[in-house]
Amino acid sequence: MLSALSNILKITELRQKIVFTLTMFLVFRMGTHIPVPGVDSHVIEQLFTTGNLFGFLDLFSGGALSKFSVFAMSITPYINASIIMQLLTVVVPKFEQWAKEGEEGRKKITQITRYGTVLLGFIQAIGMAFGLRANNALIDSGYGTVFVIALSLTAGTCLLMWIGEQITEKGIGNGISLIIFAGIVSQLPNGLAVIYQYLTVGTINIFQALIFAIIAVAMIVLVIAVSQGQRKIPVQYAKRVVGRKMYGGHSTHIPLKVNQAGVIPIIFASSVLMFPVTIAQFIDVSWVKTVAGWFAWGTPLQTTLYALLIVFFTYFYTAVTMNISDMAENMKKYGGFIPGLRPGKPTADYLDRVMTRITLAGSLFLAFIAILPNVVAGITNIQGVYFGGTALLIVVGVALDTMKQIEALVLMRHYQGFMK
């Protein structure tokens, strides 16, 4: 490991990319401590200490939400806009045409995603401002204060979007993913401090803390194994003569990932289940509060629906983003075939059957990871330390992706990288 790090430092370009990325992280962490004007910080602290809905979301903003800084919304509006654009690319012919135009089409889609981020961010910021107003968390409850808060939150999200794009262009790794990664990892010391406090006051014993550590390591290993897992479908290309040249005649494979949908199903499922709880916060009716209590985090109904929705959205998102028919048609067009199968519909049926089976394994894995925090809290009695779910998948996925990019840059200079 030390030799690999020394190899990185020898490469001027890579060293500059890493320094630039770390500098952007510093700007991000500084922004999480800049408060939004017009907000009563004491009321905000009380809302989070009483187990408010926003407590879990604070993890992904790196603590910016609990401080209600200008980065309180984090990069969430950009993620939502990107997911919406990805789904619209499948159903809107114009967007589908842009997606096939290469770099120019990608720039158009990126530009629309930016506009969508601003729009969604402002709508979400208005909702959060009125939510704070309903909880008497504003120093001045006038509409001018609400507008200033919404504008500040939207500007913070736009700045984070710009920082992410700069990291992608001039740094190392995917900038948006790394911002979320930095926010989650920044809360690790707080989690360790909570566990230490539990040990100090006697809420848990050393055996429970050890079990928590063992489960954490085991789940990281499992997430890495499943994230890297794939089913390789062998493909043989027939020889064909074009002019005086011969093409084809080689073997390759189609890598079908076990977890093709990533963390998107968990985000979709959690958003659907948070909707009734969020609405109930602004409606002071007894039966609405009762129904919202059924969907509270950790209840049997919420956990069961959470797992079922994750399985459903895994199949839905995989079906939307992967066009099996086009894949089989492209193989046929270029003279490729799966040994033992005829090109065309038989190949498409086989790929669809294989994809359905491995997606089942991926969906069950995502459901298990999503409900893991409840299981860990029940076994170890450690409350308030979020481990598992979206956070674990993002941290492991971003770390693997960034390591691969560093590996590629190092190996281009004929150095030995991290992976062997």
pTM, full prediction: 0.77
Higher pLDDT pick, 228 / 163: 163
Q: Does residue 352 surpass a pLDDT of 80?
A: yes
Q: Which long-range contacts (CB under 8 A, 24 or more apart) does 201-208 make?
A: 203/381, 204/380, 204/381, 204/382, 208/379, 208/380, 208/381, 208/382
Arithmetic mean of pLDDT, 330-343: 80
Please name the helix (run of DSSP H) or strand (run of DSSP E) that holds residue 62, with its range, or none: none
Confidence of residue 162 (pLDDT cuts 50, 70, 90): very high
User: How many angstroms separate the most distant Cα atoms in the chain?
Assistant: 81
Say if CB 66 and CB 52 are below 8 A apart. Answer: no
Higher pLDDT pick, 411 / 166: 166
Q: Which of 276-280, 341-345, 359-363 has the lowest mean pLDDT?
A: 276-280
Q: Does residue 356 surpass a pLDDT of 60?
A: yes
Mean pLDDT across the chain: 79
Arithmetic mean of pLDDT, 9-23: 83
Q: Which of 208-217, 345-354, 403-412 has the lowest mean pLDDT?
A: 403-412
Q: Which domains does the chain have, with CATH numbers?
A: 1-186 (1.10.3370.10), 205-381 (1.10.3370.10)
Q: Please give the structure tokens belonging to residue 290.
A: 């009762």
